[in-house]
Amino acid sequence: MPPGKQRTTAHAHRASIPYRRTSLACVRCRGRKTKCSGDLPSCRTCRAGNHGCIYLEQERKVQVPEFYLRDLEARVRAYEQSQAPIPKAPSPSFPASASLNPKGSGETEEFGENPLTEGMAHLVMTPSGQRHYLGNSSSTSFGLRLRSFVETLSRFDHDLSIEVQCPTYNPAAWPKRRPSLTKVPQLPPYGFAKRLYKAQFVYIGTIFSFVEPHVFEARLQKAYNQIPDLSDREACLSYSQVLIILAYGQLYSVNQWDGHDGPPGFDYFMQALQFLPDIHDEGSVLFVEVLSLAGYFMQNLNRRDAAFLYTGLALRMAISLGLHQEIDDPEIDNKAREHRRRLWWSVYSMDRILCAKSGNPITILDEDIGVSHPSRLPECEPEVGPATVLLHYTELSRILGKIMNSIYRKNHKPDLVASVYNIMTDLNNWRRDLPQELQFDPNKLGKDISRESVSIFLHYYQCINMTARPLLFRMVQKRLATGGKGEDTDWRVHLSPTAIAVIEACITAARDSTIMMYSAAKQNLVATYGFMDGEHIFSAAIVLVMINLAFPFNERDRKSMKMALEVLCGMAEKGNSHMRARHELLMKLCNIATIPCRGTETSPASFGGKDTGEDPATLYVTPSTIPATNFPLFENEPGLLQSIGSLDGGIWEEGYGNIDIGIDLDWTHWTEAVQGT
């Protein structure tokens, strides 16, 4: 082929190739799809039209001296080391030279706080007059804020039309369930009913606030005067609450099996359920109270799933009523506001505890709560009263949520040592800030003990137990699997000071929980069918059994284990079949291990319900010597938290990374480890 023909063909081939724009092409050349020379400050096309080149900021390449580039890199490293936030680059949607400042000063105007989250929450009225909560992201709430702002400027008359939620159906056509009563409940004598209220108040009234004494007495009088109108939802709820309170009173005062279909108070509780409205009915503060009480009683019956559902309904209904926020409503006085706060934090604590005990995720994050903490009413309450107890009990529940999120979340892999350290520090601070009136006095052990003090400190010890439990379990597993239980080697060998402190805190908390409940049992202050009492003593007992099986013999721990098993046995002998099963499980573990009780003539198989005759005060460790309270010592040793990598990092990872040993220990692996020894 002639050379000229070849050139013509090659030229035609190049012409068929799509035009590829260079990265330096200016905006005008890109739009016209013409070749851009990429010359600075302007290309030939723009110069011909007397225009300046405009380049996309994120693609424009600029030559800078090397020393300037090195200086920028050094500044970035300095920012990263100081953990200072690096300013974000301008959005590509706006030219870098554009200014949001109308004065043209070149500085951007700060937006400040989100105006839609300022102030208090809004409530809207339903057609029946009930008030319900509206969150800040609601379009109706946005409209209310806009109207409020316009009214302020224009001084319009206040219009409630937007606050009324108009239904899309005929309210009269909504189905209403009428309770079908087989028989009218027979109430006890009025004076005895008030005694039953006081009995339940001792156990749950001091840590939860569901119904005030004067409110209950008014509802009790109404219940004795007339049978409720079954078509009146609030009347049915009031009557149901009275029956549940009587059920609690019998449960805690009789405190043992009395030969009926269930524990004491079971009949009253079954009758109370008949008066509960359907869930699709409108919510109310009274409805939240009744659902909470019903859920907690379900847990006392060991109906875990039902308790979780009822308590979850109570929490969601409380949210729908705005109890979790401070609300803007002039019709609610100070007492009603305070009751809303206390009711919210009561449901909050109950939900956190039930979620933790059942291993379920927590229902609401602390960041989503805006209501104030409970506080006393200065005109009618003492300096340290129910509000103070609820406040500190709630703080423990908040820490419990932190434990659930930091340690027991399946897909959450935080810095384990730092998380445990922070939780232990929070618990230490809680213990330090507790008022003197609520401090536990070891001198009263075996003499006079306050039930509210027992409830608070059992919650405190349980938080320590749950924080340290995975690490302790992994350590016990390793010693049992290698036959370490029969050796006198110190378990602290090859462990970092942090790990030792955590395990010792767990052991001490289990020991002190046992001593506290053992002393309370002597005064008949342990609830035989109480859900939390049973959980606390079993959690303490399993820890003490574990360390007696795997660690070298210790007289104090052996005596504490005997006490824990005796308290469990006492609850079982009074009719709690659930505690009987747990007691038998621990006894089987002791029998499988066949560990001789060095220093005593008693074998593990002989642990029963007889009184050991031990003085609990001789075993109690004062809070100032609990290892958990010594965690602030680590603040002066910043390198200590990092030192575990060369000591026991594997144990931390194995213990806290094993989901099987979460809230409920994996009894199969546990028993196999014991049998393997």
Q: What is the pLDDT of residues 286-305, one digit of tens each?
A: 999 999 999 999 999 988 88
Q: What's residue 430's pLDDT? A: 94
Listed residue (239, 356, 237) closest to 289, CA to CA? 237
Distance between CA 461 and CA 456 in Å, rounded?
Answer: 9
Q: Shortest CA distance to 468 belongs to which of 542, 554, 555, 575?
A: 542
What is the rounded distance in angstroms from the CA atom of residue 106 to the CA atom of residue 146? 31
In the prediction, which pLDDT does 534 show? 92
Lowest mean pLDDT, pick from 109-123, 582-596, 629-643:
629-643
State CA 124 to chain mean position distance.
29
Rounded distance between C-alpha atoms, residue 484 and residue 547, angstroms:
11
Q: What is the pTM of this model?
A: 0.72
Q: Record the tokens describing residue 158, joined without a space.
A: 């206040």
Residue 99: band (very low, low, confident or very high) from pLDDT cuts 50, 70, 90: very low
**Mean pLDDT of the region 167-178:** 63
How sure is the predictor about 268, in pLDDT bands with cuts at 50, 70 and 90? very high
Tell me the one-letter amino acid at 350.
M
Give every CB contact of residue 111 below 8 A, 6+ residues apart in sequence.
none
Query: Tokens 């409108």 — which residue?
Result: 282
More confident residue, 669 or 243: 243
Q: Provide the residue ranges of all domains of the chain, joining segments of one domain with +.
A: 181-412
Among 6-20, 282-296, 306-320, 366-380, which stretch is predicted with the lowest mean pLDDT?
6-20
Of these ranges, 159-173, 353-367, 621-635, 637-651, the one predicted with the greatest mean pLDDT is 353-367
Say what angle helices 531-550 and 451-481 make with each other, to 10 degrees.
30
- CA pair distance 244, 176, nearest whole angstrom: 23
pLDDT category of residue 160 using cuts at 50, 70 and 90: very low
Asked whether residue 162 carries a pLDDT value surpassing 50, the answer given is no
Please check whether residue 632 is in contact with residue 428, taking contact to mean a CB–CB distance below 8 angstroms.
yes
| pLDDT single digits (tens) 321-331 | 999 998 877 88
Which residue type sits at 166? C
> Per DSSP, what are the bridge partners of residue 147?
none
CB 134 within 8 A of CB 122: yes
User: Which residues are CB-neighbours of 370 under 8 A, at least 6 positions away?
Assistant: 121, 324, 325, 326
pLDDT winner (highest mean) among 42-51, 264-273, 377-386: 264-273
| Percent of the residues in the chain that have a pLDDT greater than 70, as a whole number | 60
Tokens, residue 604: 């593990």
* Bond from prior residue into 41 cis (ω within 30 degrees of 0): yes
Burial category of 169 from C-beta neighbours within 10 Å (exposed 0-12, middle 13-18, buried 19 and up): exposed
Per-residue pLDDT for 418 more than 60?
Answer: yes
Task: For 614, list phi and psi in degrees, rounded to 5.
Answer: -75, 145
Outline where 574-622 has alpha helix (H).
577-593
Which has more confidence, 491 or 61? 491
- Give Rg (Cα) of the chain: 34
Which DSSP letter does residue 277 get?
P
- Output the pLDDT for position 601: 35
**Statement: residue 37 has pLDDT above 70:** no
Average pLDDT over every residue of 561-588: 91
State residue 330's pLDDT score. Answer: 81
244-253, 377-386, 523-532: the lowest-pLDDT one: 377-386
Return the pLDDT at 489: 75
Q: Measured between alpha carbons, how far is 557 from 509 in angstroms, rounded to an integer?
A: 12
CB-based burial label for 356 (10 Å; 0-12, 13-18, 19+): buried
Q: What percent of the chain has pLDDT over 90?
A: 32
Residue 566 has pLDDT above 90, yes or no: yes
pLDDT at residue 321 in the model = 92
More confident residue, 377 or 574: 574
- Beta-ladder partners of 456: none
Please count the other Cβ atoms lying within 10 Å of the Cβ belonging to residue 657.
Answer: 12
**Better pLDDT: 395 or 28:** 395
Name which of 280, 320, 321, 291 is nearest 171 in CA terms.
Answer: 280
Token output for 257: 């099996």
Nearest CA to 25 out of 2, 47, 45, 5 is that of 45
pLDDT in tens, 609-657: 344 455 655 555 544 333 333 433 333 333 434 443 444 656 666 667 6
Per-residue pLDDT band at 666 (split at 50, 70, 90): very low
- Cα separation, 300 vs 307, in Å, equals 9
% helix, strand, coil for the chain, step of 5? 60, 0, 40
| 46-84 pLDDT per residue, tens | 666 666 666 554 455 666 677 667 777 777 777 666 654
- With 60 as the cut, is the pLDDT of residue 102 above it? no
Residue bearing the bigger pLDDT, 173 or 242: 242
Distance (Å, rounded) from C-alpha 167 to C-alpha 563? 60
Contact (CB, 8 A) for 504 and 602: no
User: Dmax over Cα atoms in the chain, in whole Å?
Assistant: 123
Residue 147: the pLDDT is 60
What HEC string does 40-80 produce? CCCCHHHHHCCCCCCCCCCCCCCCCCHHHHHHHHHHHHHHH
Residue 593 pLDDT > 50: yes
Tokens 């004067």 correspond to 214
Evaluate whether 251 touches 280 at the Cβ level (below 8 Å): no
More confident site: 378 or 465: 465
**Full 3-state SS string of 136-160:** CCCHHHHHHHHHHHHHHHHCCCCCC
Q: Tokens representing 112?
A: 């400040």
CB neighbours of residue 20 within 10 Å: 7
pLDDT at site 651: 67
pLDDT band (50, 70, 90) for residue 550:
confident
pLDDT of residue 135: 60
Lowest-confidence pick of 31-40, 150-159, 525-534, 542-551: 150-159
Sole residue written with tokens 């068929």: 16
Residue 400's pLDDT is 94
- Does the structure show a pLDDT above 60 at 16? no
DSSP 8-state symbol, 128: T
Are 275 and 243 contacting, i.e. CB atoms less than 8 angstroms apart?
A: yes
User: Do 673 and 480 contact (CB within 8 A), yes or no?
Assistant: yes
End-to-end CA distance of the chain: 93
Q: How confident is the model at residue 662 (pLDDT cuts 50, 70, 90)?
A: very low
Cα–Cα dist 166/117, whole Å: 25
Is 161's pLDDT higher than 50? no
Task: Give 436 or 123, the one with higher predicted confidence.
Answer: 436
Q: Is the pLDDT of residue 391 over 90?
A: yes
